[in-house]
Amino acid sequence: MTQSTSTSRTFAATPDAVFAAFAPTRLARWWGPAGFTNTFETCELRDGGAWRFTMHAPNGVDYPNECTFLEVRPARVVIRHTVPPYFTLSIELAPAPGGTEVRWTQAFDSAETFAQVRAIVEPANEQNLDRLAAEVERGG
């Protein structure tokens, strides 16, 4: 049984401007919680594309990640995390009054895993959206 967490936020930008922040060089700048940096080995932003990268925590710990982009559209990006913890992340971009609503839903394959990581994941997802908002504001 899957367990998921969702959050949303409205950005003062067009859906196209928000989607543009997913370009690999820009994605590397904002992906992850506050204080993290990234080194991308592979980032094939297309349906079925591979994404291998390492997230570097502020305390010096490295977190290798492997994902597949299941769907890449201007209105929706779906990412499958293919190493533990297993989850699927859906990011939807929809026009909204004043800009774009970004809906971020992370569905874990296991309720047990979700219970173990929930206290970390939920604030980290909010921080990820903070960083995305800053990148969108910064522009290309």
pLDDT digits (tens, 9 = 90+) for 91-139: 999 999 999 999 999 999 999 999 999 999 999 999 999 999 999 999 8
Interstrand relation of 76-81 and 49-56 (parallel, antiparallel or unpaired): unpaired
Distance CA 56, CA 61 (A): 6
Q: Which residues partner with 129 through β-bridges? A: none
Q: What is the pTM of this model?
A: 0.95
Distance CA 106, CA 43 (A): 20
Fold entry, domain 3-138 = Alpha-D-Glucose-1,6-Bisphosphate; Chain A, domain 4 (3.30.530)
Query: Over the stretch 53-90, which tens digit does the pLDDT of each residue have?
Result: 999 999 999 999 999 999 999 999 999 999 999 999 99
Residue 1 scores a pLDDT above 70: no
DSSP symbols for 29-61 = HH-SSTT-EEEEEEE--STTEEEEEEEE-TTS-
